[in-house]
Amino acid sequence: MAAVVPRLLVVEDDDSIRTALRWALEDEGYDVAEAVSGEEAVRAVAVAAPDVMVVDLMLGSMDGFAVIREVRREHDLPIIVVSARADTHDIVAALEAGADDYVTKPFEVKEITARLRALRRRAGSGAPDLPPDEVVLDKDPAAPLVLREARGTVHRGDQQLPLTLTEFRLLCELAGSPGRVFSRQALLERVWEHGFFGDERIVDVHVRRLRTKVETDPSAPRLVVTVRGLGYRLDPQ
């Protein structure tokens, strides 16, 4: 049986950078499609259903932030931002919008491919052919919170929660050792694998996003709690 070729969408309005990325990623075995604007990117995701997306932030009328937010409404594919904007506020904003990783320009293509491999390993780490392993994180009788790691799903009652890949991995890591405090650095090493860009605040961003989806009251979290000065832990309810 022939191997499945992963589909990748490059969203970049600079012709030279887009072409260089395409050639390099095709050499890595990807089936690469291109988009030169935010609007074109959103259409391409809807039509071509890529497995992963690499997107620049500065795209004109519809910038990369808007693209990510729009894609995240319907899709949970891994998204890597590649941008010349290296300010921490831009990085945090992109991750808040729903990106999984962030690489600043100039960059080595091998760094992009390494991060893509790490994201795809995490995306494929589930085992849908295994019996579902259910972990009840919140026993609320009206709407229990159930994690099914093997299936890659989290449900609140009958509703499946739209967690991104990184949010799901973060929840699984915390749920694997309930009551244990994880430092931000430990979570970076376990969830991001390749160490991301070294800023531990990325963990805070993703925890905040995760809480908006799994907590009944994100402003007063009871499930994913902060341990001041140490990190985070998960307290099943």
Mean pLDDT to the nearest integer, 109-138: 64
Examine the fold and report which residue of 123, 146, 174 is the final residue of a domain before the chain moves on: 123
Whether 93 and 161 share a structural domain: no
Q: Are residues 11 and 119 part of one domain? A: yes
Last residue of a domain, one of 87, 102, 123: 123
CA dist., res. 50 & res. 80, Å (int) = 13
Give per-residue pLDDT as tens, 172-183.
888 888 888 888
154 domain-assigned = yes
Q: What are phi and psi of 152, to 5 degrees?
A: 75, 30
pLDDT band for 199, please (50, 70, 90 cuts): low
Across residues 85-96, what is the average pLDDT? 80
Position 128 in a domain: no
- Give the highest mean pLDDT range of 63-67, 165-169, 197-201: 63-67
Classify residue 2: in a domain, yes or no: no
pLDDT value, residue 180: 86
* CATH value at residue 86: 3.40.50.2300
Q: Evaluate the CA torsion angle 209, 214, 216, 220 in order and state its sign.
A: negative
CA 79 remoteness from chain centre = 6
- Determine, yes or no, domain membership for 201: yes
| pLDDT beyond 70 at 223 | yes
* 1 is a domain residue: no
Contact 18, 25 (CB under 8 A): no
Q: How many domains does the chain have?
A: 2
The domain containing residue 18 runs over which residues? 7-123
Nearest to 182 by CA among 212, 153, 203: 203
Q: Are residues 146 and 217 in the same domain?
A: yes
Q: Are residues 148 and 117 located together in one domain of the fold? A: no
Q: Does 220 reside within a domain?
A: yes
DSSP string for residues in 49-85: --SEEEE-S--SSS-HHHHHHHHHTT----EEEEES-
User: What is the DSSP code string of the chain?
Assistant: -PPPPPEEEEE-S-HHHHHHHHHHHHHTT-EEEEESSHHHHHHHHHHH--SEEEE-S--SSS-HHHHHHHHHTT----EEEEES---HHHHHHHHHHT-SEEEESS--HHHHHHHHHHHHHHHT---TTSPP-EEEEE--SSS-EEEETTTTEEEETTEEP---HHHHHHHHHHHHSTT--B-HHHHIIIIISS-TTS-THHHHHHHHHHHHHH-SSTTS-SSEEEETTTEEEE---
Residue 218 lies in a domain: yes
Residues 90-111, mean pLDDT to the nearest whole number: 79
Are 30 and 118 found together in one domain?
Answer: yes
pLDDT digits (tens, 9 = 90+) for 129-153: 333 467 888 888 888 888 887 777 8
Q: Do 68 and 150 belong together in one domain?
A: no
Same domain as 212, residue 151: yes
**Mean pLDDT calculated for residue range 41-68:** 88
- Quick one: 11 and 53 in the same domain? yes
- Angle at Cα 98 formed by Cα 92 and Cα 103, nearest 5°? 55
Between 62-66, 122-126, 155-159, 209-213, the lowest mean confidence (pLDDT) is in 122-126
pLDDT at 93: 83
Residues 156 and 105 reside in one and the same domain = no
CATH number of the domain at 170, please: 1.10.10.10
Is the same domain home to 139 and 118? no
Average pLDDT value for the chain: 81
106 and 175 part of one domain: no
Is residue 139 a contact partner of residue 156, using CB atoms and an 8 Å limit?
no
Domain endpoint, select from 92, 123, 154: 123
* Whether the model pTM is above 0.85: no
* 70 has a pLDDT exceeding 70: yes
| The pLDDT of residue 198 | 53
147 found inside a domain? yes
